[in-house]
Structure 1
Amino acid sequence: MLSLVSFTSSFHVAGTFGSSATTTNTKTVRRRCVLHHHHQQRGSALTTTDDDDVSDDYESSGKKKNKSGLNTRREMMLTLGVSSFVLTGGLGGKDENKAQAFTRPPPGFDLFIDTIDGYEFLRPSSWVEVKGSGNDIFYRNPRNVEENCFVAISSPSSNVYASVRDVGTPEETAEKILKQTLIELTSTRLGIIRESEVVSAKEDLDKDGTAFYDITLRIKSYAAKNQYGLTPEDRPQTLEWDRTFYSRLGTENGRLYELRMQSPSAEFEESKEQYLAGMGKSFRPFEVDTPPPSVGKQLGLNFI
Structure 2
Amino acid sequence: MDEALPKQPVFRFAPSPNGQLHLGHALSAILNFDMARQENGRFLLRIEDIDITRCTPEYEAGIVEDLGWLGLTWESPVRRQSEHFNLYREALGALIDRGLVYPSFLTRGEIKARVTAFEAEGAAWPRDPDGAPIYPGEERSLLPMGRQQMLASGKPHAWRLDMAKAVVQVMEPLTWREMGGGPQGETGMITADPARWGDIILSRSDAPSSYHLAVTLDDAEQAVTHIVRGQDLFHATSVHRLLQHLLGLPEPLYHHHRLIPGEDGRKLSKSNRDTGIAAFREAGKTPADIRAMIGL
Query: What is the TM-score with the length of structure 2 in the denominator?
Result: 0.22
Larger radius of gyration: 1
Choose between structure 1 and 2: higher helix proportion.
2
Choose between structure 1 and 2: higher strand proportion.
1
